[in-house]
Chains A and B, each alone.
Chain A
Amino acid sequence: MTDEMAKSVSRRAFLAGAGAGFGSMVVAARAVAQQQNPRATHDSSLVRDTTNFGVMDMAVKPVRLPPKPNAVKQLTNAQRDALEHQLHCQCGGCTLDVFTCRTTDFTCQVSPAMHRDVMGLVEGGYSAQEIIDAFVASYGERVLMAPTRSGFNILAWVSPGIAVLAAGAFILAFLKRSQSAKTAPLGPAAKGVDATDDELARLEAAIRRDRE
């Protein structure tokens, strides 16, 4: 095997790999096609339902628990608002949290309903974590604005860091390698030049000036 071939992938090797990759991509594309929700037909705009209220009502799932015995409110209003910043409005159309949505978009029926549920739980003496757990139990994890730090989701949190660190390590290794490569061959090459260090520096400066 020549050096050239080692460096670049041969056509055959590439096609074999690409074939396998393409196979999985077809599977993936199918999955996407199946997943496409009915909203995808929206472009026949003349028949679009402008209110969407029917859809919205269906999106709300009650999150209610019986009040704790001798219930005492554990959260201040500010803490409650902070809690609502962690919950994702479930109307399906927006990407906002419950607090932001309910205080700005009065057409959304979902965030006020979710807010009422939060209020009920606060009055019932539940803690912030208990309220969040109750919402996750009803809606699933998508009700959280960010993925939890457990299970498969850990991958979401650590991948960017690992990728940057790995690439950073690669760059450092690359720099190290070019530095050590530099020290070896340059000795004899420099010998051929009949000039002092100072002269070389002046030459370089002159070349730079020329280029400016």
Chain B
Amino acid sequence: MILIGELSLWVALLMAAWSTTVSFAGGATRRADLTDSGVRGLYATFAMIVLASIGLWTALLTKDFSREYVAGHISSTMPSVYIFTAFWSGQAGSLLFWSLILSMYGTVAIATSRRRNAELTPWATGTISAILLFFVATTCFKANPFTRLDFIPLDGRGMNPQLQNPGMAIHPPNLYLGYVATAIPFAFAIAALFSRRLDAEWLGIVRRWTLLSWFFLTIGIVLGMWWAYVELGWGGYWAWDPVENASFLPWLTNTAFLHSIMIQEKRGMLRKWNVVLVVMSFLLAIFGTTMTRSGVIESVHSFAQSPVGPWFLTFFALSAGVTIYLVATRLRDLEAKAELESMVSREAAFLYNNLLLVGIAFAIFWGTVFPVLSEWVTQNKITVGPPFFNAVNVPLGLLLLALTGIGPLIAWRKASVSNLKRQFATPTSVGLITGALLFALGMRAPNVLVAYILCGFVMGTIVQEFYKGMRARQTIHGESVVTAFNHLVARNRRRYGGYIVHAGIVMLFAAFAGLAFKSENDVTLKTGEAYETSDPYGHKWRFVSQGVSTSEPRDAQVIGVGLDTYRDGKRVGVIRSEKRAYHDAQGNPLFNPITAVGIRTTPALDTYVTLAGVRDANTAELRITFNPLVVWVWTGGFVMMIGGLIVMWPQAERRRAQAGYVAVMPPATAGVPVGT
């Protein structure tokens, strides 16, 4: 099976090359037979990559240590679930995984859209195949997971224990699913540019796949934050690491697209801009991969670096060049069908939203590449760390949060003054009351107060929208509260699912703002000694060391400390943190020792204990951090996921037949309030 997999990979390479060639030829000559052959070539590539993947999984699960990839990424003592996930934990495997997802997506996308989009099919198939060709070629020539070793080692190297975590098992595949999904809208954007056709069908496909990409990127990013928080032990979940930034960039442009696409659907405007956003998301996804693979920018994520960097850089430059050429030469085919009518309208709000999302993306991109730029220009090595990203992004982020609340309150086309007054009254009051309450409770930091006022305002908007919708249903259909809520969401999945996503965003912002009150305590404790401090809410905490303990499970040496913890005099339990040093079956040390963090979570705050080291058998050095509101990051992420699922739910598809419909009407006279 392993051998079949190895050979299939090479067949996939040939298939992808074939499919690329004949698809583009089919598009250029309008010959249906060539297009058909290209499409079948894509399906065959998918089948071959599935075989290759089965081959690699077989090699891993049968522990065939004669393969370099297997010996380098698993060991005989590892739990089998992580042997399975080792498929994507290294360079070569993750490249194959990319190809697997891309060929699967490509097959599904082409198979489902083929009949309705005969003109786009050859170009889209060709583009998907070309991207596949690149990935399979890189896998074959530069990072082949089937490469054999000259000798057969007794045992493999195993997986970094920090990666042996349930979050880490599913975080990378989610990110890959998100990254790769940007390739489908990209392929259809290229197809639209080649065939000069950009209509409602196109919109439907591109929107669906962008949503999918957004959905998986959201899950991937939040899981990554969670993993960093519980596993790395530095007390935070976002460090503006280049690779974190790389996953965030396509998320931002995807989000921008999902908003501006609504203007194109409703009003036929922003067609050029939407194509640019689709292309940007894909290029940023490739840029992210390039960065992690090339080693150009240093990062803790450089778990797997190898000489595929130049290949990725070339591919990135090539795809950027081709797209810029296509967009530049075909701009006139994408003229708007209507014009904006007012600076105070839903359309304008979406434009500002796009400005901020893309602005944030630019700021992050800029900060990420600036060290490289600076070194080229001034030979001066510098670091662009969290202080920079926070300073630049906090104002933009707050503006964006404000728009999250403002946008849904403004009518399409043109909002009237009375309309604005009526819509804004409640949300604004909620925001101001929130601010006044917090001020009365002693909160003084202006940035944070503004953040919470805006959180209140946006929540007010969301609740008001739900309330109005439900009231209308109750009055018209005489439904109960629960039925009205269910029907409201079910009949307008996109709108109300979107509001639920917004609610998740508010939770995230509330949690981010809470970090301003984080407090860190550097503590040295002998057995029986107590440390007393108070948390940001003013509660008194007392930590008593239970002493340093050591143990030796099968594959590691463990040093741990337990803290008897009291809050306001009441015992709340033991918080325990450990250091673990892993070794292989022969007792040779593997990897750097890792920290197991002790976390006590409540909705108000996390008590986060890290064992920094031990001085002697009795004395432990610890860091005790109070992290307010962290649990709301995960909750917010989960709520966003639910909202995303509601928006994506297939039943919403039927109504999209009307997408792209543009009403040509005289301007509204008195700002008739119209819904989405």
Would you call B343 and A152 a contact (CB within 8 A)?
no
Is B589 engaged at the interface, CB distance under 8 Å to the other chain? yes
Interface residues of A in 8-27 (CB under 8 A from B): 8-11, 14-15, 18, 21-22, 25
29 contacts between A and B (CB under 8 A): A9-B328, A9-B331, A11-B329, A14-B325, A36-B295, A40-B306, A40-B307, A46-B72, A50-B591, A51-B589, A95-B298, A96-B234, A107-B592, A141-B381, A142-B381, A142-B382, A142-B383, A146-B387, A146-B391, A152-B377, A155-B370, A157-B388, A168-B355, A182-B341, A182-B667, A197-B669, A204-B663, A207-B665, A208-B675
Is A153 engaged at the interface, CB distance under 8 Å to the other chain? yes
Residues of B within 8 A of A (CB): 68, 71-73, 90-91, 143, 149, 153, 157, 232-236, 239-241, 294-296, 298-300, 302, 304-307, 309-310, 313-314, 317, 321, 324-325, 328-332, 339-343, 348, 351-352, 355-356, 358-359, 362-363, 366-367, 370-371, 374-378, 380-388, 391-392, 396, 520, 522, 579, 589-593, 595, 610, 612-613, 623, 658, 661, 663, 665-670, 672, 674-675
Partner of A201, one of B329, B386, B595, B668: B668
Which residues in A have their C-beta under 8 angstroms from that of B307? Answer: 40-41
Q: Which of A63-71, A85-93, A117-125, A126-134 contacts B (4 or more CB under 8 A)?
A: A85-93
Would you call B352 and A171 a contact (CB within 8 A)?
yes
Would you call B612 and A208 a contact (CB within 8 A)?
no
Bound-complex Cα distance A174 to B513 (A): 35
Which residues in A have their C-beta under 8 angstroms from that of B595? Answer: 104-105
Task: Using A32-B309, A106-B593, A167-B358 as known contacts, say yes or no to A45 and B340 having CB atoms under 8 A apart.
Answer: no
Which residues in B have their C-beta under 8 angstroms from that of A93? Answer: 298, 300
Would you call B321 and A156 a contact (CB within 8 A)?
no
- Place the interface of chain A in its size category: 35 or more
| Besides A33-B310, A160-B362, 10 other A-B contacts (C-beta < 8 A) | A39-B302, A41-B307, A43-B143, A88-B383, A100-B234, A147-B374, A151-B378, A172-B343, A197-B669, A204-B663
Which residues in B have their C-beta under 8 angstroms from that of A182? Answer: 339, 341, 667
Q: Quote the shortest CB–CB distance from A51 to chain B (angstroms).
A: 8
Q: Quote the shortest CB–CB distance from A70 to chain B (angstroms).
A: 29
Would you call A189 and B666 a contact (CB within 8 A)?
yes
Task: Using A103-B522, A153-B382 as known contacts, say yes or no to A7 and B332 having CB atoms under 8 A apart.
Answer: yes
Bound-complex Cα distance A169 to B157 (A): 56
Bound-complex Cα distance A16 to B407 (A): 43
Which residues in B have their C-beta under 8 angstroms from that of A174? Answer: 340
Would you call B359 and A31 a contact (CB within 8 A)?
no
Task: Using A104-B234, A106-B612 as known contacts, say yes or no to A32 and B72 having CB atoms under 8 A apart.
Answer: no
Bound-complex Cα distance A157 to B235 (A): 27
Would you call B387 and A204 a contact (CB within 8 A)?
no
Which residues in B have their C-beta under 8 angstroms from that of A160? Answer: 359, 362-363, 366-367, 392, 396
Bound-complex Cα distance A211 to B90 (A): 50
Bound-complex Cα distance A155 to B388 (A): 12
Which residues in B have their C-beta under 8 angstroms from that of A207? Answer: 663, 665
Would you call A50 and B590 a contact (CB within 8 A)?
yes
Is A203 engaged at the interface, CB distance under 8 Å to the other chain? yes
CB-nearest residue of chain B to A37: B295
Partner of B321, one of A22, A36, A153, A203: A22
Would you call B300 and A95 a contact (CB within 8 A)?
yes
Is A76 engaged at the interface, CB distance under 8 Å to the other chain? no
Would you call B306 and A29 a contact (CB within 8 A)?
no
Which residues in A have their C-beta under 8 angstroms from that of B362? Answer: 160, 163-164
CB-nearest residue of chain A to B348: A175
Task: Using A95-B385, A106-B612, A211-B661 as known contacts, say yes or no to A39 and B295 having CB atoms under 8 A apart.
Answer: yes
Q: Quote the shortest CB–CB distance from A160 to chain B (angstroms).
A: 4
CB-nearest residue of chain B to A11: B329
Partner of B317, one of A10, A25, A181: A25
Partner of B520, one of A39, A103, A193, A198: A103
CB-nearest residue of chain B to A88: B383
Which residues in B have their C-beta under 8 angstroms from that of A50? Answer: 589-592
Partner of B359, one of A25, A46, A167: A167
Bound-complex Cα distance A121 to B657 (A): 70
Would you call A147 and B370 a contact (CB within 8 A)?
yes
Q: Quote the shortest CB–CB distance from A169 to chain B (angstroms).
A: 10
Bound-complex Cα distance A2 to B189 (A): 26
Partner of A81, one of B377, B392, B520: B520
Partner of B610, one of A14, A40, A104, A168: A104
Which residues in B have their C-beta under 8 angstroms from that of A198? Answer: 669
Would you call A193 and B666 a contact (CB within 8 A)?
yes
Bound-complex Cα distance A147 to B663 (A): 51
Mark each residue of chain A from 165 to 183: 1 if its CB lies under 8 Å from any CB of chain B, else 0: 0011001101100110110
Bound-complex Cα distance A189 to B304 (A): 64
Would you call A179 and B341 a contact (CB within 8 A)?
yes
Task: Using A39-B302, A45-B72, A189-B666 as known contacts, say yes or no to A164 and B359 having CB atoms under 8 A apart.
Answer: yes
CB-nearest residue of chain A to B559: A106
Would you call B298 and A92 a contact (CB within 8 A)?
yes
Which residues in A have their C-beta under 8 angstroms from that of B153? Answer: 46
Is A145 engaged at the interface, CB distance under 8 Å to the other chain? yes
Which residues in A have their C-beta under 8 angstroms from that of B331? Answer: 7-9
Bound-complex Cα distance A155 to B377 (A): 12
Is A72 engaged at the interface, CB distance under 8 Å to the other chain? no
Bound-complex Cα distance A193 to B675 (A): 25
Bound-complex Cα distance A93 to B381 (A): 15
Task: Using A9-B329, A152-B378 as known contacts, say yes or no to A106 and B305 having CB atoms under 8 A apart.
Answer: no
Which residues in A have their C-beta under 8 angstroms from that of B388? Answer: 145-147, 156-157
Which residues in A have their C-beta under 8 angstroms from that of B352? Answer: 168, 171
Which residues in A have their C-beta under 8 angstroms from that of B359? Answer: 160, 163-164, 167
Q: Quote the shortest CB–CB distance from A77 to chain B (angstroms).
A: 8
Which residues in A have their C-beta under 8 angstroms from that of B313? Answer: 29, 32
Would you call A104 and B233 a contact (CB within 8 A)?
yes
Bound-complex Cα distance A88 to B367 (A): 16
Which residues in A have their C-beta under 8 angstroms from that of B667? Answer: 182, 186
Which residues in B have their C-beta under 8 angstroms from that of A161? Answer: 392
Would you call B355 and A171 a contact (CB within 8 A)?
yes
Identify which of A31, A104, A144, A152 gathers the most chain B CB atoms within 10 Å of its CB: A104
Q: Quote the shortest CB–CB distance from A84 to chain B (angstroms).
A: 11
Q: Quote the shortest CB–CB distance from A7 to chain B (angstroms).
A: 5
Which residues in B have their C-beta under 8 angstroms from that of A203? Answer: 665
Bound-complex Cα distance A74 to B315 (A): 54
CB-nearest residue of chain B to A145: B385
CB-nearest residue of chain A to B592: A107
Would you call B330 and A46 a contact (CB within 8 A)?
no
Which residues in A have their C-beta under 8 angstroms from that of B235? Answer: 100, 104
Would you call A156 and B374 a contact (CB within 8 A)?
yes
Is A114 engaged at the interface, CB distance under 8 Å to the other chain? no
CB-nearest residue of chain A to B342: A179
Q: Quote the shortest CB–CB distance from B586 to chain A (angstroms).
A: 13
Task: Using A18-B325, A141-B380, A189-B666 as known contacts, say yes or no to A8 and B330 having CB atoms under 8 A apart.
Answer: yes
Which residues in A have their C-beta under 8 angstroms from that of B666? Answer: 186, 189-190, 193, 200
Identify which of B71, B295, B325 gathers the most chain A CB atoms within 10 Å of its CB: B295
Bound-complex Cα distance A64 to B351 (A): 54
Q: Quote the shortest CB–CB distance from A1 to chain B (angstroms).
A: 13
Bound-complex Cα distance A10 to B590 (A): 59
Bound-complex Cα distance A160 to B366 (A): 8
Which residues in A have their C-beta under 8 angstroms from that of B321? Answer: 18, 21-22
Identify which of B241, B356, B665 gathers the most chain A CB atoms within 10 Å of its CB: B665
CB-nearest residue of chain B to A178: B339
Identify which of B313, B383, B591 gathers the most chain A CB atoms within 10 Å of its CB: B383
